[in-house]
Amino acid sequence: MAQIKLQNIAHSYNPNSVDSKYALKPFDMTWVDGGRYAILGPSGCGKSTMLNIMSGIVKPSEGRLLFDGVDVTDETTSDRNIAQVFQFPVIYGTMTVHDNLAFPLVCRGYDKSFIESKVNEVAEALSLEGLLSQSARKLTADQKQLISLGRGLVRDNVAAILMDEPLTVIDPDLKFRLRRKLKEINQKYQSTLIYVTHDQNEAMTFAENIIVMDDGEIVQVGSPAELFDRPRTTFVGYFIGAPAMNLFECDVVDSNSIKFGSEKISTETDLKSVNGENIKLGIRAEYVQLMKSSAKNTVQAKVESVDDWGNHKLISANFEGNIIKVKVKREVEVPAENVYLRFPTNNCCIYENEILVP
Amino acid sequence: MGTFYTTLKYTAVTIWSMFVIAPFLWALSTSFKDFNSVTSGATYIPWVDFEPTLEGWRVLLRSPAQGGVNIVEPYLNSIFVTCLASFISILLGTLAAYALSRYTFKAGFIKNDDITFFFISQRIMPPVVLAIPFFIMLGKLGLLDTLLGLVMVYVVLLMPIAVWIMVDFFNKVPVEIDETALIDGCNPIQAFFKVVLPNSIPGMVVAGLFCMIFGWTDFFFAFILTFTEVQLLPVAIVSLNSSITPWWSLSAAALVSVAPLIVVAFIVERYLSKGNLSGALK
């Protein structure tokens, strides 16, 4: 348990070559002790590199790493007391399940009775009690992944538990239970959990704070609600949520309204300082309102398609060449031809050069 | 369809088995024949076609003073040289292969793959190219005609096989297992011995098998680098030959020399079929 601080950390896998490209661009980040974080981003955005830097598998090309204020940048992985679980199960095939779970404690020289009690506790939490004496090699993939997880949980004084898409090989029902279990463990032991995923639902339901990464950069850090309501860049708006945020090119009219096509739309955003080009209006499909008739902040659009998503419908409507996506409840009747769509002022986000105007 | 396929399969296997077993049976029956039964036309069934005799086998155990050719000593020499050379090759080869698989080496344009190829290239070279250098080097060291000299030469010949097999094996072992061991509290040396090595035994067994086969059957270097003091089994068997070819004792000696390989093959086959070789980590 510790506060983990990344100071100006950056990493390049081949720093000396001419076209050295950062896998991770310089950044600062503090992980609060006991926090529950999810790192979200597309493949190859630097998520795993960040975890590997924290656990010491990768030495950052720049910057410092502090655990509770102590510089550990040059410390070896084994000295850092961190737990890490990988995407695919890693088990010690020549050992039993029991010995697999005990290994991190045995390596650190804990006494036998303590090891026994911890192993039993973790085995019980993960429903592995019946398998303890079995050879780990013979288990199924999800059982093996439980062992990997168990090895991460068996030490309760770790600085943090880092998980790199740990539930990929686990079936959906068990996935749900395990996420609950991880939350419980986080609350019980107050251990910091950092969870890498590219599944936004997983991130949203698991974490208190989500870190969105793209192309080696942290784009936004915030609660699930913040990420959903006020994406800091158009990338976050596009990446978080299904469907992606509606984004339309527009022009600033005055300090609180913009011109979207032929319509004038008001927003709560203060646009005084905005004067550049490349202005975009962003609004979630969930927040666009279906109106009976024309009103303020409303556009008239032509319905192109209505998709049934089970518990709701997704309307695609064409307004002067812009496709507006609207998410409505299943019961809502959608007119066949023309619809009036209202953009609530507080839900209209304005982006200047892809970055949110605050 | 089912039975037809099964019949076809068994027929094919039977025919193939006959091809494999026939030479062994022929050598076995020849080893119990005497001069007349071999030279005056083919004979097949013991006690009917020919009277079996143990003479061919006795010759192998009798000392040269009693008119025999002793193959016991060459046999033990061969076991010693093959086992020791294989052991050293596996030991060094595994360590080299682990390093080549996990760490990046670079010396100018030479990288890991080039180093691995350099090892393998030792086997691509025709052995005869190495004969004279080995002869001169062992001569300078005073190790010609000694077991130690042979062990050294065989390590040179066998280690590339071990490196080759083990590099391939380690490359298939996910690097996460090493990393997990480090996270669990091992230093890199402990990670290798406690986690990686126990998981590598199947690969080492296969590499060991290949080393033993190549070491045991080598005639060329055993012939060139020894004279009178020490003799290895293949050389001893060839030297059984004289103006009248003693087919019976040659057959007996051939069977005796193949026996250990058959035993090893059976043990390893058991090991293979238990599934211990594949899926050690997945």
Q: Are B190 and A107 a contacting pair at CB < 8 A?
A: yes
Q: Are B177 and A77 a contacting pair at CB < 8 A?
A: no
Q: Are B176 and A90 a contacting pair at CB < 8 A?
A: yes
Residues of B in contact with A93 (CB under 8 A): 199, 280-281
What is the predicted ipTM?
Answer: 0.77
Consecutive H or E run containing A241: none
Which region, left, alpha or beta, applies to residue B125 given φ > 0 means left and ψ of -120 to 50 means alpha?
A: beta
B216 and B94 housed in the same domain: yes
The C-alpha angle with vertex A309 and arms to A307 and A314, in degrees rounded to 5, equals 45
- How is domain A242-356 classified at the CATH fold level? OB fold (Dihydrolipoamide Acetyltransferase, E2P) (2.40.50)
Q: What is the CATH number of domain A4-11+20-234?
A: 3.40.50.300
* pLDDT at residue number A212: 92
- Count CB neighbours of B248 within 10 A: 25
Residues of A in contact with B187 (CB under 8 A): 76, 78
* pLDDT at residue number B278: 46
Mean pLDDT, residues B24-47 = 85
The span from the CA of A304 to the CA of A318, in Å, is: 7
Nearest 10 degrees: Cα torsion A181, A184, A190, A191: 10
Residue A313 has pLDDT above 80, yes or no: yes
* pLDDT at residue number B275: 46
Tokens of B212: 């033993």
Instruction: State pLDDT tens for residues B222-258.
Output: 999 998 889 999 998 888 887 778 888 899 999 999 9
Q: Are B180 and A86 a contacting pair at CB < 8 A?
A: yes
CA distance B280 to chain A (A): 6
CA distance B208 to chain A (A): 20
Q: Which of A77, A94, A137 sits opposite B183 (nearest CB)?
A: A77
Q: Which of B66, B91, B122 is the last residue of a domain?
A: B66
pLDDT band at A1 (very low <50, low <70, confident <90, very high): low
Q: Answer for the pair B251, B27: CB distance below 8 angstroms, yes or no.
A: yes
- Count CB neighbours of A78 within 10 A: 21
- Total domains in chain B come to 2
CA distance B104 to chain A (A): 12
Q: What mean pLDDT, rounded, does chain B reach?
A: 87
* pLDDT at residue number A88: 85
Q: Which amino acid, one-letter code, is at A223?
A: S
Q: Is A92 on the interface with B (CB under 8 A)?
A: yes
Mean pLDDT, residues A208-230 = 91
Q: What percent of chain B lies above the pLDDT cut of 70? A: 95
B39 and B76 housed in the same domain: no
Residues of A in contact with B205 (CB under 8 A): none
The span from the CA of A118 to the CA of A136, in Å, is: 18
Mean pLDDT, residues B52-65 = 82
Instruction: State pLDDT tens for residues A239-257.
Output: 888 889 999 999 988 888 8
Q: Which of B174, B190, B198 sits opposite A90 (nearest CB)?
A: B174
Is A186 or A8 the better-scoring residue by pLDDT?
Answer: A8
The span from the CA of A124 to the CA of A64, in Å, is: 38
pLDDT band at B280 (very low <50, low <70, confident <90, very high): very low
Q: Collect all residues with Cβ–Cβ distance below 8 Å to B181 and sequence separation of at least 6.
A: B190, B191, B194, B195, B196
Q: Which of A84, A91, A94 sits opposite B183 (nearest CB)?
A: A84
Q: Is B212 a domain residue? A: yes
Q: Which amino acid, one-letter code, is at B194?
A: K
B144 and B10 housed in the same domain: no
Q: Which residue has the tokens 């398609």?
A: A305
Q: Is B53 a domain residue? A: yes
Query: Would you give the distance in Å from CA B128 to the centre of its chain?
Result: 19
B45 and B165 housed in the same domain: no
Instruction: State pLDDT tens for residues A222-231.
Output: 999 999 999 9
B96-to-A128, B106, B173, B194, B262 alpha-carbon distances in Å: 38, 15, 15, 18, 29
Task: Please name the residues between 275 and 334 in chain A that touch chain B, using a CB distance below 8 Å.
Answer: none
Residues of A in contact with B201 (CB under 8 A): 94
* pLDDT at residue number B272: 64
Mean pLDDT, residues A209-226 = 91
Q: Is A94 on the interface with B (CB under 8 A)?
A: yes
Name the maximum alpha-carbon separation found in chain B: 75
Tokens of A126: 């993960």
Q: Facing residues of A312 across strands?
A: A329
B18 and B132 housed in the same domain: no
Nearest to A100 by CA among A55, A57, A131, A54: A131
* pLDDT at residue number A318: 93
Q: Which of B177, B185, B280 sits opposite A104 (nearest CB)?
A: B185
The span from the CA of A353 to the CA of A233, in Å, is: 9
Among the ranges given (A53-67, A127-141, A178-192, B202-216), the one the predictor scored with the smallest mean pLDDT: A178-192
CA distance A337 to chain B (A): 56
Which region, left, alpha or beta, applies to residue A353 given φ > 0 means left and ψ of -120 to 50 means alpha?
A: left
Residues of A in contact with B185 (CB under 8 A): 78, 104, 107-108
Nearest to A121 by CA among A96, A156, A90: A156
Q: Are A78 and B187 a contacting pair at CB < 8 A?
A: yes
Tokens of B165: 């097999």
Is A172 or A265 the better-scoring residue by pLDDT?
Answer: A265
Q: Which of A57, A94, A107 sits opposite B179 (nearest CB)?
A: A57
Residue B110 has pLDDT above 50, yes or no: yes
Consecutive H or E run containing B26: helix B2-30
Among the ranges given (A88-97, A321-330, B46-55), the one the predictor scored with the smallest mean pLDDT: B46-55
Q: Collect all residues with Cβ–Cβ distance below 8 Å to B173 and sequence separation of at least 6.
A: B101, B196, B199, B200, B280, B281
Q: Are B187 and A76 a contacting pair at CB < 8 A?
A: yes
**b/e string for B115-137 if b means 16 or more Cβ within 10 A?**
bbeebeebeeeeeeebbeebeee
Q: Is B254 a domain residue? A: no
Most confident option among A4-13, A95-104, A264-273, B50-59 = A95-104
**Do you know the residue count of chain A?**
358
pLDDT band at B281 (very low <50, low <70, confident <90, very high): very low
CA distance B176 to chain A (A): 7
The span from the CA of A68 to the CA of B134, in Å, is: 62
B6 and B86 housed in the same domain: no
Residues of A in contact with B182 (CB under 8 A): 56-57, 76-78
Q: Which of A56, A93, A107 sits opposite B185 (nearest CB)?
A: A107
Q: Which of A56, A94, A151 sits opposite B184 (nearest CB)?
A: A151
Write out the DSSP string of A47-108: HHHHHHHHHTSS--SEEEEEETTEE-TTS-GGGS--EEE-SS----TTSBHHHHHHHHHHHT
B186-to-A76, A117, B280 alpha-carbon distances in Å: 10, 22, 21
Mean pLDDT, residues B21-50 = 85
Most confident option among A220-229, A283-292, B86-95, B110-119 = B86-95
The residue range of the domain holding B27 is 2-66
The span from the CA of B87 to the CA of A226, in Å, is: 63
CA distance A122 to chain B (A): 16
CA distance A117 to chain B (A): 18
What is the value of pTM for the model shown? 0.77
Mean pLDDT, residues A305-331 = 91
Most confident option among A11-25, B35-49, B114-128 = B114-128
* pLDDT at residue number A153: 86
Q: Is B262 a domain residue? A: no
* pLDDT at residue number B87: 96
Is A150 or A189 the better-scoring residue by pLDDT?
Answer: A150
Residue B274 has pLDDT above 80, yes or no: no
Q: Are B199 and A82 a contacting pair at CB < 8 A?
A: no
Among the ranges given (A167-181, A267-281, B107-121), the one the predictor scored with the smallest mean pLDDT: A167-181
Q: Are A78 and B185 a contacting pair at CB < 8 A?
A: yes
- Please report the number of interchain residue pairs, chain A to chain B, with beta-carbon separation below 8 angstroms: 57
B138 and B167 housed in the same domain: yes
* pLDDT at residue number A19: 57
* pLDDT at residue number B282: 39
* pLDDT at residue number B59: 83
* pLDDT at residue number A79: 86
Characterize the bridge pairing of strands A36-40 and A193-197: parallel
B29 and B78 housed in the same domain: no
The span from the CA of B9 to the CA of A256, in Å, is: 83
Nearest 10 degrees: Cα torsion B265, B271, B273, B274: 170
Q: What mean pLDDT, rounded, does chain A reach?
A: 88
B21 and B158 housed in the same domain: no
* pLDDT at residue number B68: 72
Tokens of A248: 């339309």
Name the maximum alpha-carbon separation found in chain A: 76
CA distance A106 to chain B (A): 9
pLDDT band at B200 (very low <50, low <70, confident <90, very high): confident
User: What radius of gyration do chain A's Cα atoms show?
Assistant: 24
Q: Is B263 a domain residue? A: no
Residue B276 has pLDDT above 80, yes or no: no
Write out the DSSP string of B155-197: HHHHHHHHHHHHHHHHHHS-HHHHHHHHHTT--HHHIIIIIIH
Residues of B in contact with A78 (CB under 8 A): 182-187
Q: Is B182 on the interface with A (CB under 8 A)?
A: yes
What are the sequence ranges of the domains in chain A?
4-11+20-234, 242-356
Residue A128 has pLDDT above 70, yes or no: yes
* pLDDT at residue number A310: 87
Characterize the bridge pairing of strands A209-214 and A193-197: unpaired
Q: What percent of chain B lies above the pLDDT cut of 90? A: 48
CA distance B189 to chain A (A): 12
